Structure 1
């Protein structure tokens, strides 16, 4: 198996650094307005604007994928509502983040951005964000993560029989499906009129896609009510036993690129797209390609915007192309605190350990080569491929990976249902712009 501890540390670093990009302000600022009331809490307009700008920065290279500003604000506001609800539920469940834990996390964010605590405080203040608001935002993010972990431990179980069945399906040559969806949500106990409106909207979105006026992913970003809307509705790879029965027979007759729906489900009307298929036995092969690589990371944060990060990574890439040693440049300039001291060394890992984009870039160069700058959720990277190898996972590791895959899929499905329940039970009133209507769910 890959160095999972290292991978988890990198993920934690990304999570903590990302808190700079989305602030959940807790104190009223002059002229600040309330964007939404969530039970006994509020979301300020300044919070919404910061969160929207963070999404815009993530799509800096694909601005055409984003919906109109009003639609994007609605989607981001819904995400902020869910954050508030999860933080409240975490507090009700006894989940606490101590001041000592918070102080350690703040120090880690400062270190990852190459600055002292005083420098971080001053930079945040210069950007109009108080240090107390930043700490509150980070505490909320940590609370949500702990709520999700607690949920997984109490609600998600994977039996040995499920692992056996999944491995047998791989060995038997079953097919796996890469899916994407668009959800037009319906409230619980929807009236006939609401059902009709929802179906009409789903049919309208389908028509836009079929006429070639909009790509499926762009339509998902703009119109889907699913939590993964801003990811283009991507559902990832699933085997038949992980797909609702209503879709199974349809998928068997579909070709990659085709779309079906709208189909009525528990949450509303769905459009489903088959992106691609693969042989499960091949996907679960014991032989796996691993890479040994080093990287240099320049983060995109509230402190350092996308343009500045891109300019900096371009400069570092030019230095290496001019003969500078990659290891020394990484030690000097990388913003990944976990690997910087080792010259950016990430050790051995499978191609998809840090996301598909990372693996694709590694595949594009030879051993010893350095990639062109590329963007991930963490920021801008350049990567030096040191070596490759084929690794036999072995049956024990294969079972562990399968158990992890099944558990991750179950957690995703169960937690999304949990979030829908939270949202449906909450009192939410939008007050920003043209969203003055009462949108309470309970």
Structure 2
């Protein structure tokens, strides 16, 4: 619903309003805006006397959950979709929407009946073949449980709120000096050289005592927290599991083929080309006569199409317009084509498009395919159909077989499938099937995780079902020292190596400060000098880490260079020499880049202003959150 409204907004306003109100309608539901359920349940909140009921909130939470699943798929961690996680943000969004809508109404903004009607008829959900359909409209509202009047009221209020938000957003602007300041920082360039002192050669000879490991472990317990985890055994059913064991006899294939032949309707497809002369004036008639004369003189049809045809799409292909089964082109065209022999050209044929000369290139598909041509496809179809039946039968039996089973081995044997097992995974999911939200939710449910029950049959898709049982459960807590000892030893070794390298870096830095060049110092030590000119912020991996450190160095004075050393996450130590700093220059950007930047900055400013307006309205509103949230 919001999309067509966004399409009617222009420029910065469109970007800001879409970002700010992108899912209000999706999470809100009609009853919140109309107040239809405000008295039907205890209130969740009240905004300037307008109630948001618990029913409103629950609907909004469910709609928000559905939107997240639709946008990100079924692999969203289940704990992100719980009522507890969604309640606070969704309720706040409903409150924000209320104050903005009320402000729009109080400002006197209205939407005409014609504008609302236009919006309704343009909604794809109410269209058939691109045209508004009254029956689709009535059926759609009936499925959602809304009356036409209530739906129109919601839509009018939403459009008014969009108009109000667009008015705020459209007023946002950015000055040239503001843009220049942003560019000066974001597009700053730096020239620098650096050498890297590697920690790797030192690690083998560095010793770490058990007492040091224990001390680090004791002081950094927060770094070794382990989330609650489970491992599951599961039976997974798909039609493909059964297809491999199904044999289809040639008699069955032959019988199916005979049925196809009986029902086959010879659908003659004709391959056509044409030369189109548009218009009916004297010039067009002269052109028709000229083409006719050249065709009568055995002129090449494709060459004449390229020279004379007004069909700019087909003329470069020699007039080729593809195949038709008798229903692609206008009736006079089809009638003339059907009377032609292969290679024959018609006389002038008039349609609403103009005058055509039509050539029949070939006739295809007049006969049914042979048994050998259809054998493989029919076999596959019969095998898949039988596999689908066996799959559905197995799914229907799976729940009963697995119910209260001590393990899943017996149900699996009964169904002729195998039991699989997952590694430990948390509520954030794991590899393979453990990434599915339904599997995660079932595995961590109290009846499965704590009571040891088998889950219900989980239909992950139309052709993918699973039943599972928890076979291992680890509570949240600190990982034991044995589990993280290798990690701690490596970390302490790298810290010690960095301390040694820092002393070496100090010595190298002093040589440079004494007048030697960094290049000569690097060469004398057998190190590689890396040069990086015109470097901008950001980057990935070690290179990005070096760049981040260099952009934290103070700019050198004119004619001078700045020198520093720093440690990387790997334990390596870098000695860097900053030679030049050049602020970004808006004037050096192309017009397209400047325009895009100004629009982006205006969008950011508009979002900030829209947020400020909403916060101001909320601060002045009388808002009562049930339970004191």
Question: Same fold judged by TM-score > 0.5?
Answer: no
Aligning the two structures, in what range does the TM-score lie when normalised by the shorter sequence? 0.3 to 0.5
Name the TM-score, length of structure 2 as normaliser.
0.32
Q: Considering only CA atoms, is the larger Rg found in Structure 1 or Structure 2?
A: 2
